[in-house]
Amino acid sequence: MTAANPKMETRGLNFYYESKPALKAIDIACAANRVTAIIGPSGCGKSTFIRTLNRMNDVVPGTRVEGTILLDGKNIRDPGVDVVDFRRRIGMVFQKPNPFPKSIFDNVAYGLRINGHQSKARVEEVVERTLREAALWDEVKDRLDDNAFTLSGGQQQRLCIARALAVEPEVILFDEPCSAIDPIATAKIEDLIHKLKQRYTVVIVTHNMQQAARVSDFTAFLMLGELVEFGPTEKIFTTPASKTTEDYITGRFG
């Protein structure tokens, strides 16, 4: 089943580390303004998959990609594509929060400034807006000059989200964004993801199936580099089509 209106889509995606296949003929459509979750046991290829979406694997030596990856229907691997600009359109939030060693304000402003936005008023406006979007503003508005490392793990992660939002992406990729933070902070980020999809397309890799169930509209289940099942999250978690999917989500293996 494919989403009616895919913002991003892979067709026949194969990925190799040297000669080892890590992804085999993956067809996944990520619907616009929806959350698509990628789940699967360790080593199934889900992080590899999400890193192909913004071509982060390009910087890894010895890797090879085959197949098509489309953003708004256009192949992102076309030679003419400006990779830097393209990575602005597709933001990424990683497992371990990675704020820059700068102030809270400068973390968010960084992307804007290197993209040429110098107007102080505009930068301030965007920093406030994205910190609000990331549900962090109220907690940091009186200490924007503090170093980002004085924030808690959950706050740092929301700062990274604000930083990603500042350059006005269209898609946001989350690679296990809550693995390193506590349950309350996790709940806040899940709530945030729920709100973000109104304006952005979200793809989230998670090893926490319950999180995928709570947060996503569509779920893709990968195993050993293959797509076992893809469909609306409600269907996957109530009546999955594949026994392998059922065994995985009920915890019989994994």
Partner 1 sequence: MERPFDDELISLKKLLLEMAGLVEEAITDAVASLKERREDRAREVIEREKAVNLYDIEIDALAMRLLALHQPVAGDLRFITSAMRICSDLERMGDQAVNIAERSLDLIRQPLLKPLIDIPEMARLAESMVKDAIAAFVRGEADLARSVCERDDGVDHLNDQVFRELLTYTMADPETIPRAMDLILIARSLERIADHATNVGEHVIYMKEGRIIKHGRRKAESIGGPSRVGS
Which residues of this protein are in contact with partner 1, per CB under 8 A? 187-188, 191, 194, 210, 213-214, 233-234, 237-238
Distance in Å, CB of 187 to partner 1, minimum: 7
The secondary structure element, H or E, covering residue 105 is helix 104-114
* Distance from the first to the final alpha carbon of the chain: 24
Structure tokens at 231: 């469909």
- How far is residue 119's CA from residue 154's CA, in Å, rounded to a whole number? 30
What is the nearest approach in angstroms of partner 1 to the Cβ of residue 88?
29
**Residue 50, SS3 per DSSP:** helix
CB of 99 to partner 1, least distance (A): 24
Quick one: 60 or 187, whose CB is closer to partner 1?
A: 187
Q: Among residues 9 and 229, whose Cβ is nearest to partner 1?
A: 229
Residue 184: both structure tokens together: 């309350």
What are the structure tokens assigned to 116, written together? 């040429």
DSSP for residue 147: B
Pick the closer one to partner 1 by CB: 42 or 238.
Answer: 238
Q: Any bridge partners for residue 40, and if so which? A: none
> In sequence order, what are the residues at sequence separation of 6 or more whose Cβ sits closer than 8 angstroms to the Cβ of residue 142?
none
**Helix, strand, or coil here: 8?**
strand
Cβ 16 to partner 1, closest distance in Å?
A: 35
The secondary structure of residue 34, as a DSSP letter, is: S
**Least CB distance to partner 1 at residue 190 (A):** 9
Q: Exposed, middle or buried by CB within 10 Å (0-12, 13-18, 19+), for 219?
A: buried
Return phi, psi of residue 164, to 5°.
Answer: -65, -35
**CB of residue 202 to partner 1, shortest distance in Å:** 14
For partner 1, which is the closer residue by CB, 53 or 134? 134
3-state secondary structure of 22: strand
Minimal distance in Å, beta carbon 194 to partner 1? 5
CB nearer to partner 1: give 156 or 233.
233
CA atoms within 13 A on the CB side of 114: 10
